[in-house]
A = this chain, B = another copy of it.
Amino acid sequence: MRSRQIPEASVARLPVYLRGLVDIAESGTTTVSSEELARASGVNSAKIRKDLSYLGSYGTRGVGYDVDYLITQISRELGLTQDWATILVGAGNLGRALANYGGFADRGFRIAAIVDAAESKHGLAVAGLEVQPMDEVEQIIKAEDIAIAILAIPGGVAQDVTDRLVGAGITSILNFAPAVIQVPPGISLRKVDLSIELQILAYYEQRRQVSAHVRAGVTPHVLDDSR
């Protein structure tokens, strides 16, 4: 199909396919069907075929996809053939854990700098880098040509820090801070929030417990056949 502008939902799955493909490649397999990739990536095969069709016609009918070729194409599409310098903002528990997290430099991402507002953290060595003062953030972003920032800071300062980073030229933000932050149009923002994920799980967990009670004959509170 080869249309520009891949649907957002598809883009979000491409990295998942990539991970599956890399696993498959490591096992020595060179060709994969959408059905096999479905098993490796937890996404159903029809969705995979549709998603991949947005990239182009990279499969062979009756055969499947060449694993290495597909890895190359997805990587190119995601922009993983270039190196991305990132700045980690916040050298607390979470920030340090993220910095030391292996799978990071994994796919072309590199922490180019770590900054923290607290003077007590300055000069500290984290993952082979010295934590630098927040004061220098503008200069660092410019000097290292950084577009992506990772926020591991307290919620209370998240918006102010974000505004400052955007002012300094950051255009993509991955937010680990437990706060809603606003960005101007044209800036990408993704958030990762432990507490929110747990709350979502709790909803379904509660629902599961309630229905278990009903099945067991305990307090069949509302029972409505009409749906």
Contacts and interface: CB of A to CB of B under 8 A. Distances in A.
B198 A101 contact: no
Contacts of A15: 193, 195-196, 199-200
Given A202-B80, A205-B148, A218-B186, A191 B225 contact: yes
Interface in A73-128: 77-80, 82, 84, 86, 93-94, 96-98, 100-101, 103-104, 106-109
B172 A19 contact: no
Interface residues of A, number: 82
Nearest to A198: B109
Contacts of A207: 79
Interface of A: 3-4, 6, 8, 11-12, 14-16, 18-20, 40-42, 77-80, 82, 84, 86, 93-94, 96-98, 100-101, 103-104, 106-109, 147-148, 155, 171-174, 178-183, 185-209, 218-225, 227
